[in-house]
Structure 1
């Protein structure tokens, strides 16, 4: 009996240790997800808008190929992202295009972290970690010389999901 109890306790402890990752593991997991969806999709085509509420994008494990429109200074435009859970989100872009996030009140939401590359994936040209509250946010791209940008949104940290 003691031996079985000790074995069960050891196994439970081992599973706890394996299940808990550190921040570096979580960032790696996010980059793997972002890279996978940038490369393989599935893809949804949308066209950004120069003014007003743009088309909706989501963190639904899809790549959004966003056609940019004429804006002051080049190409750009906006899309909307409805946030159901307040947490950090990672915006992965397949091109180096300026990104700005505003909340429903129009206030800019500052990035916690922003870079133009990933050690794991050369397809990631933008990686922006942004804390978002529940509600609809606007993601504004540009101005840029590019006519499109690919976007994948992942929740920050590790999570499980089924691929569609």
Structure 2
């Protein structure tokens, strides 16, 4: 395979991974997630929770696996001899952005857990932060506390933050 073909294949793989992660984020945080689950899947989810498997822990594990794959794709673009400087710089910038988002998510989840004593899943991307909290209902004061935590950890405006209870 020619150098240009390898680079194209590598960039397509990277793009596919990013699109897949974005779609997963959209499905999970769009509020339509529960509506898309079939009764069988709901029963399986309930069984997993009864068996002690936390949905939040499972999501975080899947997110970590996806992020590891994304970082691997980006690293392969950066280290490829066929990649031009512009593409390498873009890949390095994307890697730094992904690492910053990962750190923001981890810190925000930790502060929410420490201050409110509740598990949360936080997804961060430029211009949008989604928070799903392991409670069926949230009081106005809890929402305000979570919003304050998210704003301080991510520097996002309140209008860019979506806070949702676990359904």
Quick check: TM above 0.5? no
Higher strand proportion (structure 1 or 2): 1
The TM-score, its normalising length taken from structure 1, stands at 0.30
Under a length normalisation based on structure 2, what TM-score does the superposition of the two structures give? 0.29
